[in-house]
């Protein structure tokens, strides 16, 4: 099963929609030119296509195996992970002082997309390691950073995030894992953590667990949670590893997909206590965790984009290859490849439009993140940070919901073959299904979008984005033909629906929270379609100006934009109706528990 990274589309989005030129102009990013970006993407595409993609199906057929507490990764994964580390791929966006490449998130993001498109199970290990790196860089002591971060970036060690417990899933206030302070300044941890991705494996020399736990006498709820670093093998001050720590994998899950990535149940302290180090300040664990979660949530959004693109590529390949039935317009007396059948074409166009829109929105978000970190003007930084934070739950929630639809269509394009596991389309569907659940379900993303991202600033960022959409609606006048007028009509309607819902959310969030929260996921989807549609519209405008340079590429941008407008953005009014219908929450909450 091949994977060819869509480098041209990635570069188009980076250069034309996400403003790579502006990012390259930021202090510290002087080397991040369009040429550098292209070179990095080409190298990444080579590694992902040649090393990781061929292991993907193998990982599904030969999942990680647990035996007596030891987890063996799928054969070939360990070697690939070493190449990954040696290639510097863990450190694309991390600081050079910790052995990173120091490139913008805008360049790291397509690399992450490729990684996930090539092999979602594999990509989870770097994803979680990135989370651990972020946490240490945010809240660790200088000594912790020096000892742990370079090892994580070089791929010698990997990292994990330990949040969930059996009774504490989405609700972290219920965490019970204890951390008892010791005389030497360390802590001993006791408790059970579940759903720990790559929580135990044999691909690296050590595993650095970042663990949420409570110290004695800490406040109830989320205000009493601290963050600890618990290495699998104890680490001395020089970074040398020693004794095995008291954290053990007691089982791994039997899952619907991402089977090569072990999902561990970790037991801390069954043999005297797992030795851990406090990261940052006591009782501030959730705050640090949110920093890593924002990064991880964005990355999961990229998993959605990546697997969508992979499923799309596979479906296109099959549709061009499989010959079946004569064309409905009688243009041939013989059976043709199924890509000539209008409904197959519609499915492929849907997959493509969803993938391109979610990619564009994510890359634009990545650029805001870079500007938020590197822009010389503090106020500008704050502004971009706010936009980035507004977009993260949408990139995570919307892209992953789309990934389920895209991989579902991918099976349908294959017909009966799609249901046979050997074909591989089913694996994408199974793998994608976790994406709307982990790192916060779509509802959790939507609650974040409403609470922290819309209500807290009284809709300031949301309204600012609407102003940007207005400018694009205006600019669409310049394009000729039905595609532009169609996009203009549907983007204007979508903008209107989104604006109405933002006001509805602001209006009702205090007085009728049930009404708002009954529709938060729909608000998230609406925002995704409108903001994604906005990027498709911007792409059309650029394509219109450039069309002569490459009629095939730019013509496809215009056609795909039109399709997005008519088939996807056109759903905005129905989402608005569902959210604000006269009886809003009454409609959703009308039934009593007994009536279900």
- Residue among 583, 543, 545, 580 at smallest CA distance from 564: 543
Residue 434 in the binding site for its own copies (CB under 8 A): yes
Min dist CB 105 to its own copies, Å, is 28
Q: How many CB atoms lie within 10 A of CB 71?
A: 19
Residue 291 in the binding site for its own copies (CB under 8 A): no
Min dist CB 399 to its own copies, Å, is 16
Distant-in-sequence, close-in-space partners of 231: CB < 8 Å, separation ≥ 6: 206, 207, 208, 209, 241, 245
Min dist CB 392 to its own copies, Å, is 19
Nearer to its own copies, 219 or 513 (CB): 513
- Residue among 278, 122, 263 at smallest CA distance from 193: 263
Cα separation, 229 vs 222, whole angstroms: 18
Distant-in-sequence, close-in-space partners of 465: CB < 8 Å, separation ≥ 6: 387, 390, 531
The interface with its own copies within residues 134-173 (CB under 8 A) comprises 164, 169-171
Residue 486 in the binding site for its own copies (CB under 8 A): yes
Nearer to its own copies, 115 or 319 (CB): 319
Q: Which residue has the tokens 């990509």?
A: 123
Written as one string, the DSSP assignment of 272-297 is: S-EEEEEESSTT-HHHHHHHHHHHHH
How many residues touch its own copies under the rule CB under 8 A: the total is 102
Nearer to its own copies, 506 or 588 (CB): 588
Which member of 113, 356, 439, 576 is catalytic? 439
Nearer to its own copies, 480 or 593 (CB): 593
Nearer to its own copies, 137 or 492 (CB): 492
Cα separation, 381 vs 26, whole angstroms: 11
Nearer to its own copies, 287 or 566 (CB): 566
Residue 439 known to be catalytic:
yes
564 neighbors 536 (Cβ within 8 angstroms): yes
Tokens coding 133: 């790196």
**Binding segment for its own copies among 48-56, 277-285, 383-391, 559-567 (CB under 8 A)?**
559-567
**Binding segment for its own copies among 32-40, 107-115, 123-131, 432-440 (CB under 8 A)?**
432-440
Residue 420 in the binding site for its own copies (CB under 8 A): yes
Residue 343 in the binding site for its own copies (CB under 8 A): yes
Q: Running DSSP on this structure, what letter comes out for residue 66? A: E
Phi, psi (5° rounding) for residue 246? -85, 55
- Residue among 186, 432, 213, 170 at smallest CA distance from 305: 432
Nearer to its own copies, 246 or 439 (CB): 439
Residue 430 in the binding site for its own copies (CB under 8 A): yes
> Contact with its own copies (CB under 8 A): which of 54, 78, 239, 573?
573
The interface with its own copies within residues 344-403 (CB under 8 A) comprises 344-346, 348-349, 352
Residue 446 in the binding site for its own copies (CB under 8 A): yes
Per-residue x/- track, 305-324, its own copies (CB under 8 A):
-----------x--xx---x
> Contact with its own copies (CB under 8 A): which of 520, 527, 539, 541?
520
Cα separation, 406 vs 412, whole angstroms: 10
**Binding segment for its own copies among 20-28, 92-100, 114-122, 564-572 (CB under 8 A)?**
564-572
Q: How many CA atoms lie within 13 A of 293 on its CB side?
A: 18
- Residue among 93, 122, 203 at smallest CA distance from 155: 203
Nearer to its own copies, 68 or 220 (CB): 220
158 neighbors 128 (Cβ within 8 angstroms): yes
> Contact with its own copies (CB under 8 A): which of 517, 528, 530, 541?
517
> Contact with its own copies (CB under 8 A): which of 23, 37, 124, 426?
426
Residue 437 in the binding site for its own copies (CB under 8 A): yes
Distant-in-sequence, close-in-space partners of 437: CB < 8 Å, separation ≥ 6: none
Beta-strand pair 187-197/157-162: unpaired
165 neighbors 174 (Cβ within 8 angstroms): yes
The contacts found for 547-554 with CB under 8 angstroms, 24 or more apart, are 553/8, 553/12
Residue 513 in the binding site for its own copies (CB under 8 A): yes
Min dist CB 570 to its own copies, Å, is 4
Residue 65 in the binding site for its own copies (CB under 8 A): no
| Active-site amino acid positions | 439
């Amino acid at each position: 099963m091949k994977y060819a990274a869509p480098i041209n589309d990635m570069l188009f989005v980076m250069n034309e929609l996400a403003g790579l030129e502006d990012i390259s102009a930021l202090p510290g990013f002087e080397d991040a030119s369009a040429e550098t970006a292209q070179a990095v993407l080409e190298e990444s595409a080579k590694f992902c296509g040649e090393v990781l993609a061929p292991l993907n199906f193998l990982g599904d057929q030969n999942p990680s195996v647990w035996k007596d507490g030891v987890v063996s990764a799928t054969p070939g994964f360990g070697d690939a992970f070493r190449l990954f580390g040696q290639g510097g791929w863990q450190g694309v966006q991390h600081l050079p002082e910790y052995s990173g490449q120091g490139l913008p998130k805008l360049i790291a993001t397509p690399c992450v997309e490729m990684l996930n498109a090539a092999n979602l199970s594999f990509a989870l290990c770097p994803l979680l390691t990135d989370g651990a790196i972020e946490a240490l860089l945010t809240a660790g002591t200088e000594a912790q950073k020096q000892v742990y971060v370079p090892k994580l970036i070089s791929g010698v060690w990997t990292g994990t995030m330990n949040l969930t417990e059996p009774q504490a899933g989405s609700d972290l206030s219920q965490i019970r894992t204890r951390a008892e302070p010791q005389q030497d300044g360390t802590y001993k941890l006791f408790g059970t953590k579940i759903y720990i991705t790559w929580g135990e494996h044999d691909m690296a020399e050590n595993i650095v667990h970042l663990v949420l736990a409570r110290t004695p006498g800490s406040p109830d709820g989320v205000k009493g949670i601290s963050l600890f670093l618990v290495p699998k093998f104890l680490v001395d001050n020089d970074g040398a590893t020693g004794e095995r720590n008291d954290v053990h994998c007691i089982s791994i899950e039997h899952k619907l997909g991402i089977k090569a990535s072990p999902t561990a149940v970790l037991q801390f302290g069954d043999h005297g206590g797992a030795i851990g180090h406090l990261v940052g300040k006591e009782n501030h664990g959730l705050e640090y965790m949110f920093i890593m979660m924002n990064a991880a949530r964005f990355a999961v959004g990229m998993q959605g984009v990546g697997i969508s693109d992979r499923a799309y590529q596979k479906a296109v390949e099959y549709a061009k290859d499989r010959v079946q039935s004569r064309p409905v317009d009688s243009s041939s007396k013989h059976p043709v490849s199924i890509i000539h059948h209008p409904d197959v074409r519609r499915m492929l166009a849907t997959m493509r439009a969803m993938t391109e829109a979610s990619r564009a929105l994510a890359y634009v978000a990545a650029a805001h993140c870079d500007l938020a970190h590197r822009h010389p003007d503090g106020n500008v930084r704050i502004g971009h940070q706010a936009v980035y934070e507004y977009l993260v739950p949408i990139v995570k929630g919307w892209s992953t919901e789309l990934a389920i639809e895209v991989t579902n269509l991918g099976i349908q394009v294959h017909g009966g073959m799609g249901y046979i596991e050997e074909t591989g389309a089913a694996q994408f569907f199974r793998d994608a299904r976790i994406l709307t659940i982990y790192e916060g379900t779509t509802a959790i993303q939507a609650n974040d979008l409403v609470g922290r991202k819309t209500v807290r600033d009284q809709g300031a960022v949301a309204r600012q984005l609407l102003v940007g959409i207005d400018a694009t609606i205006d600019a669409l006048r310049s394009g000729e033909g039905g595609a532009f007028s169609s996009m203009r009509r549907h983007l204007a309607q979508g903008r209107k629906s989104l604006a109405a819902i933002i006001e509805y959310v602001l209006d009702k969030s205090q007085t009728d929270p049930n009404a708002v929260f009954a529709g938060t996921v729909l608000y998230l989807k609406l925002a995704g379609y409108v903001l994604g549609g906005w990027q498709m519209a911007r792409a059309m405008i650029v394509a219109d100006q450039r069309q002569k340079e490459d009629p095939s590429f730019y013509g496809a941008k215009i056609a795909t934009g039109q399709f997005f407008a008519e088939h996807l953005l056109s759903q905005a009014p129905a989402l608005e109706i569902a959210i604000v219908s006269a009886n809003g929450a009454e409609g959703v909450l009308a039934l009593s528990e007994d009536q279900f």
